[in-house]
Amino acid sequence: MNRIHEYIDQNRDRYVQDLIDIVSKPSIGTDPEQTRLCAEAIRDKMKAMGIPAQILETINNPVIYAELPASRENMPTVLFYGHYDVQPARDLDLWDSEPFAPEIRNGRIYGRGVADNKGQFLTQLLAIEAYLKQTGEVPVNVKVILDGEEEIGSKGLADFAAKNKDLLKADLVYTSDGGTQNPEIPTINFGVRGVMNFDLTLETASTDNHSGNKGGVTRNPAWDMVQLLSKMLDENGRVLIPGFYDAVVPMSPKDRELVEALPFRPEQFARDFGVKEIVARDKVDYYDKLMFQPTLTINGMFSGYTGAGCKNIIPKSATAKMEVRFAWKQNPETIYRLIEDFVKERNPQVQMCMVEDYMYPSRNNTELPIYEPVIEAVEKIWGAKAVISPVSGGSLPEFIWTSILEQPSILIPYANPDEANHAPNENLDLSLFQKGIHTTAEVLHALASQK
């Protein structure tokens, strides 16, 4: 292992260039052409590392798959998951550098997808390469699958996994995505919330109307939309849609035990999030809202004129872009119908439309034996006791591993808490990038040492 870790340190500059190369390839999930070009570039880079990657087709964007068997028999199999598609790079005037022309500033690399998720899955690949270069083999059976549409629901991957269960069979699925609770302390997640996006659209005229000549005698869709949305949430943030919470599983005693051990620094969290304050009574309330409760979010609204100056009109239409984060056991189809019924009852003119494919929530048993060597290896590299989080507030296609394939899964993020994923100036701390490579290498060694 000393030789492996020395090799990783010696190649730090090359690793950064590898990351710049990959982030420079635009791969917005809704752009199949650019996404495929990025997949081909990653495949070629993996082959140059000695990893026999191939592009496999799905019903949507392709996946990149590779498999490396261990020379010793009866070794465990780890499946590394990552995604090479990225969020759109909107609000370009808020970026300090071009989203797809990565720049290094003050020890961080900036670019769309650098943390979510290209930099994080690249750490897995580089750890594998380190083994291949130094020993000629991997210590355990390794599989890699890189998703091309995580940002739009992973429907293609879900279908692919259901049809290729033997191909993806593993003793453990290992994902690095999201940010740590603290850049000095590793975070280990055992579940995710699900997610669903939908639009609400109301059109009340065929054209915008003069707000003086026709004001007061024609309906204003912007006001109608605001009134509808105001009925969905109370002043404490609780969703008022009947049945919305029916399937939610409350925090268990074990969950509460894990939560009590988590850090709670509301002032620091507020600074990391770029907000004035955290909306929570105390630690338990904070993590209950973040992990075990669903949310209904307005992601954006638009109607009428929003440019400089003014334009005296009654808009012809209004749209609200909405999102639900599902708690464990909630069913996306059920929640969609509940919201649809709520909307139709209050304003039947409003049209509701699903946007992208939804992801189910997922949970893992935190006490499976295979997790023990992984956690020990992570803590060894980081030099700190890990923060064990039962659920991540974000969403990933974890249900594919835990429900479709019925395999244990663990999520260990390598990005900084203020990575700004999905936002302008997304970034990755290069020291954490390097630490991620060391961590993955140590995890592979620890899994092999159990046999």
| Site of tokens 């759109």 | 88
pLDDT tens per residue across span 178-193: 999 889 999 999 999 9
pLDDT value at residue 451: 59
Single-letter residue type at 96: D
Which pLDDT band, with edges at 50, 70 and 90, does 81 fall under?
very high
CATH of span 198-248+293-358 = 3.30.70.360
Mean pLDDT of 192-213: 96
Of residues 26, 155, 171, the one with CA closest to residue 84? 26
For residues 364 and 407, what is the distance between their CA atoms, to the nearest angstrom? 9
Which pLDDT tens digit goes with each residue over 15-64? Answer: 999 999 999 999 999 999 999 999 999 999 999 999 999 999 999 999 99
The DSSP symbol for 33 reads H
> Which single residue is written with the structure tokens 């869709």?
221
| Nearest in space to 173 (alpha carbons), one of 201, 195, 192 | 192
Q: Looking at residue 59, what is its pLDDT?
A: 96
Round to whole Å and give the CA distance between 355 and 130.
41
Query: Which strand (E) or helix (H) includes residue 158?
Result: helix 155-163
Residue 255 has a pLDDT of 94
253-290 per-position pLDDT tens digit: 999 999 999 989 999 889 888 899 999 999 999 999 99
Classified by CATH at the fold level, domain 2-193+361-449 comes out as Aminopeptidase (3.40.630)
Distance CA 290, CA 258 (A): 14
CA distances from 277 to 175, 198, 260, 267, 270 (A): 30, 28, 21, 7, 5
Distance, in Å, from the CA atom of 71 to the CA atom of 68, rounded to the nearest integer, reads 9
Q: What is the DSSP string of 370-392?
A: THHHHHHHHHHHHTSPPEEES-B
- Radius of gyration (Cα) for the chain, nearest Å? 23
| Strands across the sheet containing 108-110 | 103-105, 108-110, 427-429
- Identity of residue 449: S
pLDDT of amino acid 345: 97
Q: Sorting pLDDT into bands at 50, 70 and 90, what band is 164? A: very high
| Boundaries of every domain in the chain | 2-193+361-449, 198-248+293-358
Token duo for residue 315: 């808009």
Give per-residue pLDDT as tens, 382-429.
999 999 999 999 899 999 999 999 999 999 999 999 999 999 999 999
* Six-digit token string for 252: 């268990």
Measure CA of the first residue to CA of the last residue in the chain; give whole Å.
17
Amino acid at position 289, single letter: K
Give the whole-angstrom CA distance, residue 211 versus residue 216. Answer: 8
What's the pLDDT score for residue 273? 84
Containing 131, the helix (H) or strand (E) segment is helix 119-135
Q: What percent of the chain is predicted at pLDDT more than 70?
A: 100
Decide if pLDDT at 108 tops 90.
yes
Q: Which DSSP symbol is given to 419? A: -
Per 3-state DSSP, the chain is made up of helix, strand and coil in percentages (nearest 5) of 35, 20, 40
With tokens 């549409």, the residue in question is 149
